[in-house]
């Protein structure tokens, strides 16, 4: 059987990039949630909580995608896209809106 993929670490590097993205989103969500709590801004806290949930889904789906792609590549099967940047974009938008609410809200 011929090898359909290069035996480098492309899948591992991609998985690590998703982990870094998820970790940064988790940290920023926790900070935004904490700041929203200090200012008692319910909307910012709700959006930060939603962003925290999105980051959790991103971490869960990223781990599953790594396992699936690795198994497909080793087995010589084509793999399908299981994770898109839509989850990351959703979390980033939620964080941005909650930050704007905190910055532009009442003092």
Q: What pLDDT score was predicted for residue 54?
A: 85
Domain-located, residue 27: yes
Question: Mean pLDDT across the stretch 34-41?
Answer: 83
Domain-located, residue 10: no
**Cα gap 48→41, rounded to integer Å:** 11
Q: What pLDDT score was predicted for residue 103?
A: 77
Q: What is the tally of structural domains in the chain?
A: 1
CA-to-CA separations, 96 to 31, 76, 87, 91, 102, in angstroms, rounded = 13, 41, 14, 9, 10
- pLDDT-derived band of residue 57, with 50, 70 and 90 as boundaries? confident
Task: Convert the pLDDT of each residue in 64-95 to its tens digit.
Answer: 888 888 888 777 777 666 556 777 788 788 88
Domain range spanning residue 22? 18-104
What is the rounded average pLDDT for all residues in the chain? 80
Domain-located, residue 5: no
Structure tokens, 36? 């929203």
Domain-located, residue 72: yes
Domain-located, residue 99: yes
Q: What pLDDT score was predicted for residue 92?
A: 82
Domain-located, residue 4: no
Domain-located, residue 70: yes
Between 38 and 85, whose confidence is greater? 38
Predicted structure pTM score: 0.71
Q: What pLDDT score was predicted for residue 6?
A: 60
Among candidates 66, 36, 63, 40, which has minimal Cα distance to 51? 36
């Amino acid at each position: 059987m011929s090898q359909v993929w290069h035996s480098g670490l492309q899948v591992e590097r991609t998985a690590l990039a998703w982990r870094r993205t998820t970790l940064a989103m988790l940290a920023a969500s926790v900070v935004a949630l904490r700041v929203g709590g200090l200012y008692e801004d319910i909307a910012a806290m709700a959006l930060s909580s939603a962003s925290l949930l999105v980051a959790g889904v991103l971490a869960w789906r990223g781990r599953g995608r790594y396992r699936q792609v690795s198994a497909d590549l080793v087995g010589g099967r084509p793999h399908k896209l299981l994770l898109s940047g839509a989850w990351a974009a959703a979390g980033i938008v939620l964080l941005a809106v909650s930050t704007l609410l905190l910055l532009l809200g009442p003092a």
